[in-house]
């Protein structure tokens, strides 16, 4: 019985960190949910170092491992790999340079559909600060990342991990 409070705390944390995806009750496309913990680090540390160094400032000075860990807050709702499923939130692969509400098969809020946002480091930084203040009426219930270094690190992590092969 001692696990019940721990389970409830974990469930509350996952719900707080997660968005309220599609109106049609969208859920992960597979029966299993993504793990809330950060994935294992990529295999090639040198490639990560090179990719980070190529990013524009201040993202080229980001802490990739911190970004990977902080993205764990997002992982319960978003996938980042190419061809990954939409979950409570849309798949984020190729997000940079993409117009908001553009992932096929995901049911976005009307306010996001009506926005003229093109995702890049600056709008994503503002979004991750407090999504509900950045675009009132969106479905994402995530409270935001207060620490600007954490936001920088998550954005750099996403810039490396969600880059398309054409980039």
Q: How far is CA 59 from CA 10, 68, 78, 151, in A?
A: 30, 14, 21, 10
What is d(CA 81, CA 93) in angstroms, rounded to the nearest whole number?
6
**Per-residue pLDDT, 11:** 36
**Per-residue pLDDT, 164:** 75
Spans of the chain, pLDDT less than 50: 1-41, 167
**Per-residue pLDDT, 110:** 96
Residue 99's SS3 state is: strand
For the stretch 25-71, pLDDT in tens is: 333 333 333 334 444 445 689 999 999 999 999 999 999 999 999 99
**Per-residue pLDDT, 40:** 44
What is d(CA 82, CA 93) in angstroms, rounded to the nearest whole number?
6
- What does the DSSP 8-state code read for residue 140? B
**Per-residue pLDDT, 137:** 94
The token duo for 133 is 């203040």
Give me the sign of the Cα torsion angle 99, 36, 81, 158. Answer: positive
Q: Please give the model's pTM, rounded to 2 decimal places.
A: 0.74
**Per-residue pLDDT, 36:** 41
Contact 123, 36 (CB under 8 A): no
Domains and CATH numbers, the chain: 36-161 (1.10.760.10)
Contact 140, 20 (CB under 8 A): yes
């Amino acid at each position: 019985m001692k696990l019940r409070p721990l389970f409830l705390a974990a469930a509350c944390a996952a719900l707080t960190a997660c968005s309220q995806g599609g109106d049609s009750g969208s859920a992960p496309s597979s029966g299993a949910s993504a793990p809330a913990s950060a994935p294992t680090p990529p295999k090639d540390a040198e490639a990560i170092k090179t990719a980070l160094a190529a990013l524009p400032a201040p993202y080229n000075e980001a802490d990739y491992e911190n970004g990977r860990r902080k993205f764990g807050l997002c992982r319960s709702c978003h996938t980042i790999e190419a061809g990954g499923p939409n979950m409570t939130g849309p798949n984020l692969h190729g997000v940079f340079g993409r117009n908001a509400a553009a992932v096929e098969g995901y049911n976005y809020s009307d306010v996001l559909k009506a926005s003229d946002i093109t995702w890049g480091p600056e709008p994503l930084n503002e979004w991750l600060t407090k999504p509900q203040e950045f675009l009132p009426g969106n479905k994402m219930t995530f409270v935001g990342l207060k620490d600007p270094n954490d936001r920088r690190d998550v954005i750099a992590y996403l810039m490396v991990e969600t880059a398309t092969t054409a980039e």
